[in-house]
């Protein structure tokens, strides 16, 4: 087994440069080469993130204000789901915890009883991130008192990370990979051959070539598990516009009869797009719907992106690890793709095969990835399945479709008992309650242990949480004002 001293990253989108920055900065004695093609370009979307990115940046010792300035970032406290539960109804899925941790039963049980008694307000009123998002206020509070992520410009982010990787010795090659050379004995990738004939050899290859999956699929045929029967959207159209208001501290996800639309506010513009199922609407009609629902002047031409929802059967195969879109795709409803890139990189750092590629490392990597991705898949499917919408064929299909057994069980458990359990250290925790309730699934019962608390005490308990949040949020600055102080424009 060859020691791994040379890593080759094929592709320079968000995935390629996130991997390059981490590997060059965090592993010493490694020769890292990245190949990218300006002519092919990147997917050019992927501008909303989740709080795990904050921790990734801390790992890389990235200065937050410098990062925000470089990528025109705003803060994000959650996602506003509009028209999802039903037409003209909305809720916010925020990043924080709702209520207070109660050892015996989750907060939702106390809220449920309070609601029955008529003294609980909306579930979201007990979550500081949600209240701050609604009032468009923001500040960083001590001890991660407010969980947040960012909205950012994807192409500027790749440039920013490239700067870090270059400071740490990355070798960058511009041009198209024409051929992937594989060892006839063990099936490992030996080298990548550029169209100009240059050959780049390596011990470990990261496939960051986007949806093409040039190494992992076109060469190594790792296989693809299709999930489009659960997530029928297969197309998107993206367009950038000028801003007509100060940036909100949340992403907007607005449902339509055949999919949904995003609005991502940056410091200097707004990213917009529509995600839809081509089975239920034409590209042209989807484009018109998007254009009818944007605010501000268009800065770019509308661009159609086709995708297939699902996952690679093996994310690491032979000496090739798929990172980013080459590893599969879950639609951007909960902004989880960049998180999955970061997870793959951190997992690779932990399992890094210094002494040579071993099958046990590969199996561990693939098993952990499968657990992570399937939990996120279930969470995203839930938004479509749990809805009162039945006003269009698309929604009729979604609300009546069979869902994975893991999700069916979760929904049944919550509906009948109000119980929710986090499994296998999965990404989403409190979010399950927030979105199930937000989508209109209210449990039939609460945990009987709540009855140990007299009604007056329950009333005081709920009120103290809500009042505490209100007081804190009232003291926070306005989101835009905070950004201008935190990372002032020159």
Return residues touching ligand FAD (CB under 6 A): 11-16, 35-37, 40-43, 45-49, 154, 176-177, 208-210, 212, 214, 236, 238, 273, 305, 307, 324-326, 332, 335, 337-338, 341
Q: Cα–Cα distances in Å, from 490 out to 139, 267, 270?
A: 21, 13, 20
Residue 314 is a catalytic residue? no
Q: Is 78 annotated as a binding residue?
A: no
Q: How big is the CA angle at 355 (ends 354 and 358), to the nearest 5 degrees?
A: 100
Q: Output 40 or 105, the one with its CB closest to ligand FAD.
A: 40
Rounded to whole angstroms, how far apart are CA atoms 342 and 364? 17
Q: Output 198 or 481, the one with its CB closest to ligand FAD.
A: 198
Q: Is 76 annotated as a binding residue?
A: yes
Q: Is 12 annotated as a binding residue?
A: yes
Q: How far is the CB of 394 from ligand FAD (least distance, A)?
A: 17
Q: Cα–Cα distances in Å, from 2 out to 6, 125, 405, 427?
A: 10, 57, 42, 35
163 bridge partner residues: none
Q: Is 169 annotated as a binding residue?
A: no
6 bridge partner residues: 31
Q: How far is the CB of 87 from ligand FAD (least distance, A)?
A: 24
Q: Output 30 or 322, the one with its CB closest to ligand FAD.
A: 322
Q: Output 124 or 210, the one with its CB closest to ligand FAD.
A: 210
Q: Is 338 annotated as a binding residue?
A: yes
Q: How far is the CB of 264 from ligand FAD (least distance, A)?
A: 7
Catalytic residue, chosen from 25, 76, 318, 385, is 76
Q: Output 304 or 371, the one with its CB closest to ligand FAD.
A: 304
Q: Could you list the residues known to form a binding site, using ranges.
A: 12-15, 76, 325, 334, 338
Q: Could you list the residues known to form a binding site for FAD, using ranges.
A: 12-15, 325, 338
Residues tagged active-site: 76
Q: Could you list the residues known to form a binding site for L-tryptophan, using ranges.
A: 334
Q: Could you list the residues known to form a binding site for 7-chloro-L-tryptophan, using ranges.
A: 76
């Amino acid at each position: 087994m060859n020691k791994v001293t040379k890593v080759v990253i094929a592709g320079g989108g968000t995935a390629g440069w996130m991997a390059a920055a981490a590997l060059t900065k965090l592993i010493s004695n490694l020769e890292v080469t990245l190949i990218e093609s300006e002519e092919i370009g990147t997917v050019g979307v992927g501008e909303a993130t989740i709080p795990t990115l904050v921790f990734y940046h801390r790992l890389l010792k990235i200065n937050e204000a410098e990062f925000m300035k470089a990528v025109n970032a705003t803060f994000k406290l959650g996602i506003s789901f509009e028209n999802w539960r039903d037409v003209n109804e909305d809720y916010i899925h925020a990043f924080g915890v709702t209520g207070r941790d109660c050892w015996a039963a989750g907060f939702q049980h106390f809220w449920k009883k309070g609601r029955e008694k008529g003294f609980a307000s909306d579930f979201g009123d007990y979550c500081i991130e949600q209240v701050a998002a609604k009032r468009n206020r923001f500040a960083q509070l001590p001890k991660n008192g407010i969980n947040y992520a960012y909205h950012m410009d994807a192409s500027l982010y790749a440039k920013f990370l490239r700067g870090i990787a270059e400071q740490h010795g990355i070798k960058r090659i511009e041009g198209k990979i024409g051929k992937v050379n594989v060892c006839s004995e063990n099936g490992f990738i030996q080298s990548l051959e550029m169209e100009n004939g240059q050959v780049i050899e390596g011990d470990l290859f990261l496939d960051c070539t986007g949806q093409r999956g040039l190494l992992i699929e076109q060469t190594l045929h790792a296989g693809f598990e299709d999930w489009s029967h659960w997530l029928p959207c297969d197309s998107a159209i993206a367009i950038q516009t000028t801003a007509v208001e100060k940036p909100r501290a949340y992403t907007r996800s607005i449902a339509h009869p055949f999919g949904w639309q995003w609005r991502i506010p940056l410091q200097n513009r707004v990213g917009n797009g529509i995600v839809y199922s081509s089975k239920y609407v034409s590209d042209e009609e989807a484009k018109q719907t998007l254009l009818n629902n944007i605010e501000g002047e268009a800065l770019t031409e509308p661009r159609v992106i086709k995708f297939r929802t699902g996952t690679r059967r093996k994310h690491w195969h032979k000496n090739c690890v798929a990172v980013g879109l080459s590893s599969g795709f879950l639609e951007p409803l909960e902004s989880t793709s960049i998180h999955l890139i970061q997870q793959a990189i951190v997992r690779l750092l932990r399992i890094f095969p210094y002494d040579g590629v071993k099958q046990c490392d590969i199996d561990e990597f693939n098993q952990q990835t499968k657990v992570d991705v399937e939990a996120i898949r279930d969470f995203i499917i839930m938004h479509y399945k749990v809805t009162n919408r039945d006003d269009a064929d698309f929604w009729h299909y979604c609300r009546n479709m069979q869902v994975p057994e893991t999700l069916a069980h979760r929904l049944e458990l919550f509906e009948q008992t109000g119980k929710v359990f986090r499994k296998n250290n999965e990404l989403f925790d409190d979010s399950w309650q927030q979105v199930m309730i937000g989508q209109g699934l209210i449990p039939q019962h609460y945990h009987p242990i709540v009855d140990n608390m007299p009604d007056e005490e329950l009333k005081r308990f709920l009120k103290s949480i809500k009042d505490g949040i209100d007081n804190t949020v009232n003291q926070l600055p306005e989101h835009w004002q905070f950004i201008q102080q935190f990372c002032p424009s020159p």
